[in-house]
A and B are shown apart, each in its own frame.
Chain A
Amino acid sequence: MSQDPLVVLSAFMDGEPVAPDALAAALLAPGAREALLDFAALRAGLAGDDSRPSPALHRAMDKVLSRRRGHGWPVWRLLQSAAAVVVLALAVLGAMSLRTHFYGRGPEEPPQATRIIQFTPGVDWHEGGPQ
């Protein structure tokens, strides 16, 4: 970076990094104070500009921007929704497979009896198997 005192002061005014040594030297240079005040006055002069575009610009741009939003939104939103559904489904499947992996399938109980059948020994069956 150039060490010209006014270049350093100009960069300092702009919030750009300047070496502390260079800044110290620049501030001691003849005319540094006046230069800083003049730079600040220029900034103040430009900051007084509160001009704004007319509402016509906003109306024109609103039209363009809403048309673009209307045109591009559904496809983009559709893709986002599809991606969200896929991610959710994968998450549910993953959670289920983890549960099976760590806890097994869970207790398997016999079904409830719907009728009772009684067998009489010696009548309905015989010891020693079929004869």
Chain B
Amino acid sequence: MSPPDAARLFDQHHLAVFRFLRRMTGSLSLAEDLTQEVFLRVVRSIDSYEERSRETSWIFRIARNVLADRLRSQARTPVDAPVHDAVALARPAVQPLATALDQALSRLPDEEREAFLMREVGGLGYREIAEACGATADAARMRIYRARLALREALGPSRSVAVMTPREVSK
């Protein structure tokens, strides 16, 4: 079986990886830098890609490793910068939620935040998240659940629902 095509992998996954890394780091420029590093690693290691691992899990595992390497080599980015990034990008109607959401996300434990963002931003299933994080599917389920509870707690039930229109709720 031939390895997957690197160009196709980039086209298909770079946005999800970029947005995942942006949420994880809170910085657009750092996320872009890390996304490039992720796909350089993908290109370098594509011949050793194993078929039994799902493409998405494999790429997000690389993203996770790239991020961990970067965090090890530098002090963690303060919370202020990410919040400003997020506010600048959010649609006006959801700006208050975007700000609060980014702040709440930044306070989550890393394991819960990455599992939650892989699910919500990357669209990965529990098995894929488990493969990417080296955990079990049950652990992924519980991390996502705990992240949701913590975010809900931080945002407050009335606040998170208040910013949604009836159409958004029914979607």
Contacts and interface: CB of A to CB of B under 8 A. Distances in A.
A38 B161 contact: yes
A65 B10 contact: yes
Interface stretch (B48-56, B59-67, B69-77, B139-147): B139-147
A35 B152 contact: yes
Contact of B98 (A10, A45, A57): A45
Contacts of A53: 14-15, 18, 31-32, 35
A1 B23 CA distance: 29
Of the four ranges (under 10, 10 to 19, 20 to 34, 35 or more), the interface on chain A belongs to: 35 or more
A57 B18 CA distance: 10
Interface string A37-69: 111111111101111111011001100110011
A14 B119 contact: yes
A7 interface: yes
B89 interface: yes
Interface residues of B, number: 50
B151 A14 contact: no
A6 interface: yes
B126 interface: yes
B158 to A, nearest CB: 9
A16 interface: yes
B26 to A, nearest CB: 12
Nearest to A40: B169
B107 to A, nearest CB: 14
B32 A7 contact: no
13 contacts: A7-B142, A34-B157, A39-B148, A42-B160, A46-B101, A46-B120, A52-B15, A53-B18, A53-B31, A61-B36, A65-B6, A68-B43, A76-B2
**Which 3 residue pairs spanning A and B have beta carbons closest together?**
A41-B160, A10-B145, A65-B7
